[in-house]
Amino acid sequence: MKILVTGGLGYIGSHTAVALQQAGFEVLIVDNMSNSSIDVLEGIAHITGTTPQFKYLDLREKEEVHHYFKTHKDIDGIIHFAASKAVGESVENPLLYYENNINTLVYLLQECHAHKIQNLIFSSSCTVYGEPDSLPITENAPIKVANSPYGNTKQISEEIIFDTTKVSDIKAIALRYFNPIGAHESTEIGELPLGVPQNLVPFITQTAIGLREQLSVFGNDYPTEDGSCIRDYIHVMDLAEAHVVALQRLLENKNKEAFEVFNVGTGKGSSVFEVIKAFEKVSGTSLNYKVVDRRPGDVIAVYADTTRANKELGWKAKRDLEEALRSAWKWEEKVRRES
Ligand code: UD1
């Protein structure tokens, strides 16, 4: 079975490409390398023994996309990662986000329709829930007004896919990711943020390795036990494996509705201070950090109710926070050794 992975050189895409190949799928990758590197292909090949077929493609180029599908007719399913994901950047440049995350999805769906590609897995986010009314959060929780254009693109994308599945043969699953962290245990692939990391764990590892002077903890006066925000940090390989089982569900026609959504998290919330402590423990380092003001737009606490994914997909996160942080640290050490 041939699976197209858009954004397959990116952080989650590359780990999913590995999981797909290990499950026996043939992987085709398209990527515009806006936030990734061609070296990732080699990393995937080192782990799996197979180099995925790769084509540089910017999905905003409608004609190019059209041409790609005309020349690759036997695709059985698509996992669509290619998108922009920086919350702050989306506030500053909303049109970039709407073009990059929405137009591209529309073009892809048009090609799915034209070429009878019926299986689509979409990268969604727990950001669609906004500040939850109750925790853990289930898929039935209300979708709140998005607090950034980025979040809005995830909400709109889910709606676009849902509307399309109603009037076509396309079946789709949106996976609502919580906070992916960590790297493949081989350290062949991992997260490579461009510039200053916006996310907690890459900022922690870059601080510990000496690339950043100090981690800023955004607020210690939240109504949580230790005053810092709570998130559900999931090992990227657990997340990658969720894509494989979701895809298999569609390919085997086991889906119950044409469009389904699943939370993909561990079900366990960890505060920023808990993450710092766990990191210090697994790395044997002492992290330089200070508490600063809250970051605008941060929700206080969010973690997943994963019952639906457990029952319907037979999937459960297998790795814990410490294992994920250990892999993130191993990756950071390797990247810096080589640079
Ligand atoms: C958010 C979205 C997520 C989206 C991601 C894209 C929510 C709940 N989550 O993740 O869906 O995919 O952006 O980037 O909307 N922190 C610090 N110091 C730092 C960095 C982060 O204290 O230098 C804290 C944050 O305040 C937060 C936690 O660490 O409490 C995690 O932050 P981050 O890694 O940026 O992820 P989210 O904002 O949760």
- Sort 39 into a burial class: Cβ within 10 Å, 0-12 / 13-18 / 19+: exposed
Residue 245 within any structural domain of the chain: yes
Q: Considering only CA atoms, which residue is closest to atom 31 of ligand 1?
A: 200
- The per-residue pLDDT for range 123-141, each reduced to its tens digit, is 999 999 999 999 999 999 9
Atom of ligand 1 nearest to the CA of 272: 29
**pLDDT range class, residue 338, cuts 50, 70, 90:** confident
**Does the C-beta of 175 come closer than 6 Å to ligand 1?**
no
What are the catalytic residues? 150
Output the CA 166–ligand 1 centroid distance in Å.
Answer: 33
Terminus-to-terminus CA distance in the chain, angstroms?
37
Please give the mean pLDDT across all residues of the chain: 97
Q: Considering only CA atoms, which residue is closest to atom 29 of ligand 1?
A: 200
Residue 61 within any structural domain of the chain: yes
Residue 55 within any structural domain of the chain: yes
Gap between the Cα atoms of 241 and 37, Å rounded: 22
Gap between the Cα atoms of 82 and 40, Å rounded: 15
pLDDT of residue 271 exceeding 90: yes
Gap between the Cα atoms of 109 and 218, Å rounded: 39
**Does the C-beta of 224 come closer than 6 Å to ligand 1?**
no
Residue 201 within any structural domain of the chain: no
**Does the C-beta of 204 come closer than 6 Å to ligand 1?**
no
Q: Check residue 159 and give its pLDDT.
A: 98
Percent of the chain with pLDDT over 70: 100
Cβ within 8 Å of residue 195, ≥6 positions away: none
Residue 123 within any structural domain of the chain: yes
**Antiparallel, parallel or unpaired: β 171-177 and 53-56:** unpaired
Q: Check residue 176 and give its pLDDT.
A: 98
Gap between the Cα atoms of 161 and 178, Å rounded: 20
Structural domain for 68, as ranges: 2-182+233-265
**Does the C-beta of 155 come closer than 6 Å to ligand 1?**
no
Strands (E), the chain: 2-6, 26-31, 53-56, 77-80, 119-125, 171-177, 179-181, 215-218, 230-231, 233-235, 259-264, 270-271, 289-292
- The per-residue pLDDT for range 63-89, each reduced to its tens digit, is 999 999 999 989 999 999 999 999 999
Helix H or strand E segment including 296: none
Query: Residue 262's beta-bridge partner residues?
Result: 175
- The per-residue pLDDT for range 188-211, each reduced to its tens digit, is 999 998 889 999 999 999 999 999
pLDDT of residue 289 exceeding 90: yes
Q: Check residue 115 and give its pLDDT.
A: 97
- Find the farthest-apart pair of alpha carbons in the chain and give their distance in angstroms, rounded: 56
Gap between the Cα atoms of 237 and 267, Å rounded: 16
**Residues 99-126, mean pLDDT to the nearest whole number:** 98
Q: Considering only CA atoms, which residue is closest to atom 7 of ligand 1?
A: 127
- The per-residue pLDDT for range 9-64, each reduced to its tens digit, is 999 999 999 999 999 999 999 999 999 999 999 999 999 999 999 999 999 999 99
Residue 187 within any structural domain of the chain: no
Atom of ligand 1 nearest to the CA of 230: 30
Cβ within 8 Å of residue 205, ≥6 positions away: 279, 328, 329, 331, 332
Cβ within 8 Å of residue 248, ≥6 positions away: 23, 254
Match 């640079």 to its residue by tokens: 339
**Does the C-beta of 146 come closer than 6 Å to ligand 1?**
no
Residue 247 within any structural domain of the chain: yes
Atom of ligand 1 nearest to the CA of 201: 34
Q: Check residue 309 and give its pLDDT.
A: 98
**pLDDT range class, residue 306, cuts 50, 70, 90:** very high
Instruction: Identify which has the larger pLDDT, 339 or 207.
Output: 207
pLDDT of residue 147 exceeding 90: no
pLDDT of residue 337 exceeding 90: no
Q: Check residue 339 and give its pLDDT.
A: 80
Residue 54's CATH number? 3.40.50.720
Quote the pTM value.
0.97
Gap between the Cα atoms of 332 and 195, Å rounded: 14
**Does the C-beta of 217 come closer than 6 Å to ligand 1?**
yes
Domain count, the chain: 1
Q: What one-character-per-residue DSSP string does 135-203 give?
A: SSBPTTSPPPPPSSHHHHHHHHHHHHHHHHHHTSS-EEEEEEE-EEE---TTSSS----SSS--SHHHH
Residue 79 within any structural domain of the chain: yes
Phi, psi of 239 (to 5 degrees): -65, -45
Gap between the Cα atoms of 330 and 205, Å rounded: 9
